[in-house]
Amino acid sequence: MIRPKQSLGQNFLRDENIARKIVASVNIQPNDVLLEIGPGEAALTKYLAQQVDKLIVVDVDERVINRMHEMYPSDEVEIMHQDFLQTDFAEILRRRKGSKLRIVGNIPYNITSPILFHILDNRIHVRDATLMMQKEVARRLVAKPKTKDYGILAVFCQLFADVALLFDVSAKCFFPPPKVISSVVQLKILDAPRYELRDETFFRKMVRAIFGKRRKTLRNSLGYFVDEIPALPARFDLRKRPEELTIEELVGLGNELFLAR
């Protein structure tokens, strides 16, 4: 048994029914190139490995890697000792001769956002991701405008993927039990952004800037992003706050600002 490290955000899944339920929700096909983030004690790994020809597991913890080598001494599972945030998806697909990755994991809750953004930044190489995370964060991914949970994660995840909150998982299913309820979320990556972006980098900077000042009106929060707000079409009401805009409206605003530079 591996002793969980708090510094690595480790809470190992121990409930076999939940593990099987997560794997079933992925709907694996034998020729899928599957990547598991943080296999831990192999709660998911042992089921994933049975269903797919190409399973890759990634973990930064040397103890977990050693355990994986003990369990899978042959090449049936590719074991990568590295930080997932440094993982090169394109290189994996070249090596594995696959089209797109399918990602699964009970991810460390302390780096959930960086993991999500690493997947979205490399979404051209990803088909979908089925991830367990803190319920509070999961709610942000599926949040709608004019709610307190609607923000940066909702905008980016829903712009680039179809997002579904599948089911909740009790703290009792883990060792050690976290102090929060968990949820399993599935992101199915879109072939193109839901709304056309003039410039993705510009849009990302704008969204981070205005939601960083979310209690201010757009007129005030945009002042932290551009030196001077240009004349905008009447449909943009700058008296609104960022969370009042739909993703389509945010994209439209970003496109207008980009063209008016």
pLDDT band at 1 (very low <50, low <70, confident <90, very high): low
Are both 79 and 37 inside the same structural domain? Answer: yes
pLDDT of residue 97: 81
189, 221, 251: which is the final residue of a domain? 189
Are both 63 and 180 inside the same structural domain? Answer: yes
The pLDDT tens digits of the residues spanning 149-201 come to 999 999 999 999 999 999 999 999 998 888 899 999 999 999 999 999 999 99
pLDDT band at 92 (very low <50, low <70, confident <90, very high): very high
Short-list 226, 225, 246, CA closest to 237? 246
C-alpha 208/C-alpha 53 separation (Å) is 40
pLDDT of residue 3: 66
pLDDT of residue 96: 82
The pLDDT tens digits of the residues spanning 7-46 come to 666 788 989 999 999 999 999 999 999 999 999 899 999 9
pLDDT of residue 7: 62
Is 195 part of a structural domain of the chain? no
Write the DSSP assignment of 159-211 as a string of letters: HHEEEEEEEEE-GGGEESPPSS-EEEEEEEE-SS-SS--S-HHHHHHHHHHHH
Are both 134 and 222 inside the same structural domain? Answer: no
Are both 24 and 144 inside the same structural domain? Answer: yes
What's the longest Cα–Cα distance across the chain?
64
pLDDT of residue 194: 98
Is 255 part of a structural domain of the chain? yes
The pLDDT tens digits of the residues spanning 211-245 come to 999 899 999 999 989 989 999 998 999 999 999 99
Are both 71 and 160 inside the same structural domain? Answer: yes
pLDDT of residue 75: 82
189, 211, 245: which is the final residue of a domain? 189
pLDDT of residue 5: 61
Which H/E stretch holds residue 115? helix 112-121
137, 170, 189: which is the final residue of a domain? 189
Which H/E stretch holds residue 215? none
C-alpha 212/C-alpha 163 separation (Å) is 23
Q: Is the peptide bond before 4 cis (omega within 30 degrees of 0)?
A: no
Q: In what order do the strands lie in the sheet with 161-169?
A: 77-81, 54-59, 33-37, 101-106, 126-134, 182-189, 161-169
pLDDT of residue 238: 94
pLDDT band at 4 (very low <50, low <70, confident <90, very high): low
Is 242 part of a structural domain of the chain? yes
DSSP 1: -
pLDDT band at 98 (very low <50, low <70, confident <90, very high): confident
Short-list 43, 33, 141, CA closest to 95? 33
Is 1 part of a structural domain of the chain? no
Are both 123 and 252 inside the same structural domain? Answer: no
- What is the percent of the chain with per-residue pLDDT over 70, rounded to a whole number? 96
The pLDDT tens digits of the residues spanning 69-78 come to 999 988 889 9
Are both 33 and 122 inside the same structural domain? Answer: yes
- Using the Cα atoms of residue 25, residue 26, residue 31 and residue 34 in order, give the sign of their dihedral: negative
pLDDT of residue 261: 87
Give the range of the structural domain holding residue 206, as residue numbers without chain letter.
200-259
Are both 123 and 233 inside the same structural domain? Answer: no
Are both 149 and 243 inside the same structural domain? Answer: no
pTM comes to: 0.94
Are both 185 and 207 inside the same structural domain? Answer: no
CB atoms within 10 A of CB 39: 29
pLDDT of residue 182: 96
CATH number, domain containing residue 243: 1.10.8.100
Are both 127 and 85 inside the same structural domain? Answer: yes
Cα–Cα distances in Å, from 185 out to 53, 87, 158, 168, 228?
Answer: 24, 21, 12, 9, 40
Which H/E stretch holds residue 37? strand 33-37
When divided into structural domains, the chain yields a total of: 2
Is 35 part of a structural domain of the chain? yes
Q: Do the beta carbons of residue 65 and residue 72 sit within 8 Å?
A: no
Are both 46 and 149 inside the same structural domain? Answer: yes
CATH number, domain containing residue 30: 3.40.50.150
| Side-chain half-sphere CA neighbours of 37 within 13 A | 30
Is 194 part of a structural domain of the chain? no
